[in-house]
Amino acid sequence: MSFQDFNFFGKRVLLRCDFNVPLDSQGKISDDFRLQRALSTIFFLRKAGAIIIIISHLGEPQDIKNKRKRKKQLTLKPIGQRLSCLLREKVLFSKKNKGRSVQRIVKKMKPGEILLLENLRFDKGEEQNSLKFAKQLGRLGDVFVNEAFSVCHRAHASMAALAQVLPCLAGPELDKEFNFLSQMLQNPPRPLVVLIGGNKTESKLQVIKRFLTIADYLLLAGEAANTILSAKGLWPSHSLLPAKEIEMVKEINLTDQKIYLPLDVLASCDQSGQGIIRQTGPAAVRLDEDIFDIGPETVNVYQEIIAQARAVFWAGPVGLFEVEAFSHGTREIALAIAKSQASLKLAGGGETVAALRKFNLTNDFSFISTGGGAMLNFLAGEKLPGLSALGLCHPEASSNEPKDLVV
């Protein structure tokens, strides 16, 4: 049964969202995009008369040894407060995510009311994919709705084990994300232009390898492009790059005419943008410099290719767009995609989303994926535990199995 056809009236819905939002140095939310993406689902459930119990994680609590500091820095309470403002509705908050105290709160809730539980990762059972922890969560609900595509590559209790405890449904946003990504791989309008930038080089190289069999044009920038330039001897800093990445490049046919690499770049010794900035070819970048943006010649070539596209996939900015001096490339590429006649425009990843929001271009894309790692893993053909639990396995997924349940 689909999400839209399910009768939610009076049902306790455990809604898994990804509210792992970026925080500034003061611990305040700096970008609430992921919260906004969940609003339509929450409104739907409220109108349907569901009792809504939202579960999420924030950060990596287990990396902070001091429990008091952990709870202070990574509590979801501020998330609940922002969510209340966005919904214009009171959102209850529980300092715990399991146990009798939470059960008592849920028992008193009425249809349409909303409760946010404390950070799931405060309990070790979440990241261990513990069936015991999943059953403790399951006691709070009648049905489980997964609306957190961006966490689906994690074999965690709220992704995998919980689907074994309760009847489970894919949320409408997750379902939309799955369908858009599947279309990009299986039946995209032609020509398909793929632009890969940003960091996370290892996962990006896997996606590049996959798209060589699918895309018509593959435009590269960022660390992935730098790694390939190094492997081809066109960037002198190759000795600083991980050997594993250089080995991965050897699996890619670098002579393929689909691949386009930066012709010119902006190089500097100072990432603040206050120092000397040189426009130069990659091979002329000095060892004391780093590449912080693509140059105007590369921008022009990429713009011309994007203008021909009928489908575009973009993952990762082409430069350090947060700094004005290095924002030109990313801004111009984003504008080129936004203005193109492509019928399918898909972008994704945290940095890409931040760039589009900065340049006010989010409404010019067919869909913006909230998933960084999950999106890249899916496009590389990997099996995502969260999707498998919902019966949404990619038709060409690998045989990698999710982490075993901890009973």
CATH of 177-379, one of 3.40.50.360, 3.40.50.1260, 3.90.1150.10, 3.30.70.1350: 3.40.50.1260
Q: What is the pLDDT of residues 208-252, one digit of tens each?
A: 999 999 999 999 999 889 888 887 777 776 456 677 877 788 888
**What pLDDT, on a 0 to 100 scale, did the predictor assign at position 68?**
81
CB atoms within 10 A of CB 25: 6
Ramachandran angles phi, psi of 49, nearest 5° = 85, 25
Q: Residue range 330-339: average pLDDT?
A: 98
- Residue ranges for the known binding site for ATP are 204, 322, 349-352
Percent of the chain with pLDDT over 70: 95
- Residue ranges for the known binding site for substrate are 18-20, 34, 121, 154
| Residue 292 pLDDT class (50, 70, 90 cuts) | very high
Answer for the pair 290, 341: CB distance below 8 angstroms, yes or no: no
Q: What CATH number belongs to 12-170?
A: 3.40.50.1260
**What pLDDT, on a 0 to 100 scale, did the predictor assign at position 254?**
80
Instruction: Round to whole Å and give the CA distance between 318 and 271.
Output: 15
| Residue 187 pLDDT class (50, 70, 90 cuts) | confident
DSSP code string of 249-298: HTTS-TT-TTEE--SSEEEES-TTS-S-EEEE-GGG--TT-EEEEE-HHH
In the chain, ranges of CATH 3.40.50.1260 domains: 12-170, 177-379
**What pLDDT, on a 0 to 100 scale, did the predictor assign at position 402?**
43
Residue 407 has pLDDT above 60, yes or no: no
**What pLDDT, on a 0 to 100 scale, did the predictor assign at position 400?**
42
| Residue 113 pLDDT class (50, 70, 90 cuts) | very high
Q: Please name which of 308, 69, 299, 67 lies closest in space to residue 197, comparing C-alpha atoms.
A: 299
| Residue 200 pLDDT class (50, 70, 90 cuts) | confident
Indicate the range of 82-96, 129-143, 196-210, 312-326 predicted with least confidence. Answer: 196-210
Q: What is the pLDDT of residues 237-291, one digit of tens each?
A: 645 667 787 778 888 888 889 999 999 999 999 999 999 999 999 999 998 899 9
**What pLDDT, on a 0 to 100 scale, did the predictor assign at position 399?**
39
**What pLDDT, on a 0 to 100 scale, did the predictor assign at position 203?**
84
**What pLDDT, on a 0 to 100 scale, did the predictor assign at position 1?**
78
| Residue 159 pLDDT class (50, 70, 90 cuts) | very high
Provide the CA 336 distance to its chain's centre, in angstroms. Answer: 22
H-run or E-run covering 91: strand 91-93
**What pLDDT, on a 0 to 100 scale, did the predictor assign at position 394?**
67
Q: Please name which of 294, 289, 291 lies closest in space to residue 269, comparing C-alpha atoms.
A: 289
Q: Residue range 64-76: average pLDDT?
A: 87
Residue 182 has pLDDT above 90, yes or no: yes
Residue 397 has pLDDT above 70, yes or no: no
- Residue ranges for the known binding site are 18-20, 34, 121, 154, 204, 322, 349-352
